[in-house]
Structures are given as C-alpha cells and as structure tokens.
Amino acid sequence: DMQMTQSPSSLSASVGDRVTITCRASQTISNSLNWYQQKPGKAPQLLIYAATKLQSGVPSRFSGSGSGTDFSLTITSLQPEDFATYYCQQTYTTRWTFGQGTKVDIK
Amino acid sequence: EVQLVQSGAEVKKPGESLTISCKGSGYSFPSYWIGWVRQMPGKGLEWMGTINPRDSDTRYSLSLQGQVTMSVDRSISTAYLQWTSLKASDTGMYFCARRQEVVSTTGAFWRSFDLWGPGTLVTVSS
C-alpha cells in the first residue's frame, strides 16, 4: 500500500496563528491528495481535494499545496473551531490510504 | 437533506456475526460509490474499501479482504458492512462515506469522500 506520512503528529497553536501541516507520499501521487478535518466524536469533513481545491462551504483560510510526493495544508489565522485532527488521504491508487493524522490543540 | 444515516451502536461477543447499514437520502444513491472507513479507539482513519451501488463492484483494503463483506440494496438506497465472525480487534467506529468524483474539462478526475455518515460504534467483547 501507498504510505502517507504526516508531520508533525501534533502541534500547539494560538488563535490567530498560521499553521502548516505536511504530508509525504511514499511514491508519486500526482495531485490525488485530499485533506479532512475531524473533531472529537464526529465524522471527518472534507476540506481540500485534488491537493489545492477548496471543497464547497469550507472557509478560505484553509488552503492546500503540493504535487508529486510532498503536500501541505495551511490554515491562516487559526480560529477556535479549527482545533481538531487533520488527515491527508491519497486517492491515486485503487486502494486509498490516510496519513496518521495531525492533532492541532490550543497552546 | 443530503445525508447518510447509519445504524446504531452494537455490542457483540467474539465469534458472532454482524451487519451494519448506511442509508443514503437526498441524492441519487446509485450515482455515487460508497466507502467504509474504520477508526479504532484513539487511532486514525483506515480506508476499508468501496462499493459501486450500480453493480456491486467492490474494492477492498488488502489487509481486510476476506474479513468483511460490503454489499448494497439499491431498492432501499442502503449499503451494508458484514462480519461473519467478529474478533475483539474489530472494535471501533465505522464510518460510511459517499465518493465524490470531480471531472475537469481535460478529462482529469479527482475522488474524495464528500459526505459522511455519523458512524456506527462496534464493540466486541467477551
């Protein structure tokens, strides 16, 4: 299976901070990369698809970049509702895989 | 309202069988593949597989193939995940999700899970 490695595993940040999470694929996946947000006890929510495209209804402070093997999710001006766990997901291969997650909590 | 509604929490013993369900509403159920995602307690998301409601074509995770069975009943817009013999290690939250496919003008396409059910908690304990 394609391996997806996120970093960091966790981070502490303050409201208003700029936060960047990275995701690396074990092989090239073009731009077949999605980002999800999950809050405790809730289902994940799609934020970004195709590495850079903002899903409808998602605030513009979320953005994605990258292609090939290296990707990032950036949250400009972190809001209280953004404290959550974030997952990347590759859909390049038939069998999709998720990164291990990055937990963003309050400093 | 466009939504996926999942069946309620289950408590089972090792060796028992189980089927959980995921009902789509507010959209054309046959038009979107349904995926299943596992989340073990305190852990991350694990892609289990996907099924095409039109023809029941399936894709399974290699690690889970043979351990679970995905199926659909198009007549009632419902997808199912089935175990014939549960293990304690099957304990976790199981999400169903709708597979979105966005196609560009050049023919390139991108897939993702754009709509999720709330999850079904499965507890397997003796």
The pLDDT tens digits of the residues spanning B55-98 come to: 999 999 999 989 999 999 999 999 999 999 999 999 999 999 99
CB contact under 8 A, B112 and A44: no
> In this structure, what token pair is assigned to residue A47?
């934020």
**Radius of gyration of chain A from its Cα atoms, rounded to whole angstroms:** 13
The three-point CA angle A86-A46-A22 to 5° equals: 35
Q: What pLDDT is recorded for position A75? A: 98
Euclidean distance between CA atoms A9 and A92, whole angstroms: 23
Cα distance between residue B44 and residue A38, in whole Å:
10
Give the nearest partner residue to A98 out of B44, B100, B118, using CB atoms: B44
> What is the side-by-side strand order in the sheet with A19-25?
A4-7, A19-25, A70-75, A62-67
Average model confidence (pLDDT) across chain A: 97
Nearest CA in chain B to A103: B44
Task: Please report the pLDDT score of residue A94 as a whole number.
Answer: 94
Q: Is the pLDDT of residue A26 over 90?
A: yes
Is residue A70's pLDDT more than 90? yes
Query: Mind listing the pLDDT tens digit for each residue in B7-38?
Result: 999 999 999 999 999 999 999 999 999 999 99
